[in-house]
Structure 1
Amino acid sequence: MTSITYETDIATARSVVLEALNTHDGLTGWWTNDVNRKEEVLYFNFPGVPEPFQLRRDQADENRVVWVNVGAFPPHWAGTTITWDLTGTPEGTRVAFAHSGFPEGEPEVPMISETWGILMTRLKDYAETGKPNPFFTV
């Protein structure tokens, strides 16, 4: 299985990063401006995409947030897991990100990796400034 990983330091409290990963306002502040929730499943809508990405939040505590793809779309995300591990630093919060479970040789991984790199920067900027700037707007 193939994984995409990133690590970034964010100059803010862990609680602020957790809010960006776990609340409607947080998620719409850096990822997409169209996020819905039904129980523990998050529905992320993107421009030009026929159906939402469906990610079930399996864990959300002060050290880790875990989402599991539970939808059939996009097919190359089937069975993948997104993990955000949070640790403190003297300046704020270190975020170790992983999107894992892609089949070996999945041709979409480079594009997905590039997008996650951009999204990690958006997450950092939003958490540090509080100014919404979602990468995708529907």
Structure 2
Amino acid sequence: MSEITFQVDTPVDRATVLRALNSHDGLTGWWTTGVDRKDDILFFDFPDVPEPFRLRCDEATEDRVAWTSVGAFPPHWAGTTITWDLSDNPDADGTRVLFRHTGWQPDDPGLPPAAYTWGRLMTRLTEYAETGKPDPFFTL
């Protein structure tokens, strides 16, 4: 299996990063304005996408946020796992964020464009966490 991995450091505390990853205002502040939640299932809508991405929140603690794709769309995300591991930045004040999107088939043609998009999203996540100013990558 293949994975997408990024590490970013931000001067903000873990609680701030966790809010950006695990609250409606946080997720709509950097990812997409189309966010809904029913129990442990998060629904993410995107422009020109026929149905929402469905991700089950498996964990949301001060050290980790983990989701599993439980929807049939997009097909190449089926069964993949997305995690953010949060730790103290060893080099400065703030938080180190280790992002992984695992479970991809090695020859999946969707992997390179997803990696590119996740890289851009990680920039939006850290900018939102640092400024509190919403600037979602996708708007409906």
| Bin of the TM-score, shorter chain as denominator length | over 0.9
Name 1:63's counterpart in structure 2: 63
Identity, in percent, stands at 61
Q: For 2:27 and 2:94, how far apart are their aligned partners in 1?
A: 20
Could you tell me which runs of 5 or more consecutive residues in structure 1 were left unpaired when the two chains were aligned: none
Q: Which whole-Å deviations, capped at 9, do the CAs of 1:79-119 have from their partners, x for residues lacking one?
A: 10001000012320000000000111111100000000000
Deviation at 1:76, TM superposition (A): 0.6
Structure 2: segments with no counterpart, 5+ residues: none
Per-residue deviation, residues 37-96 of structure 1 (Å, max 9, x unmatched): 000100000000000000000001011100000000000101100010000123200000
Residue 21 of structure 2 is matched in structure 1 by: 21
> Runs in 1 of length 4+ with deviation above 3 angstroms?
none
Whether 2:99 is the aligned partner of 1:97: answer: yes
Question: What is the one-letter code of the residue matched to 2:138?
Answer: F
* Alpha-carbon distance in structure 2 between the residues aligned to 1:91 and 1:135: 27
**Partner residue in 2 for 1:107:** 109
Q: TM-score w.r.t. structure 2 length?
A: 0.97
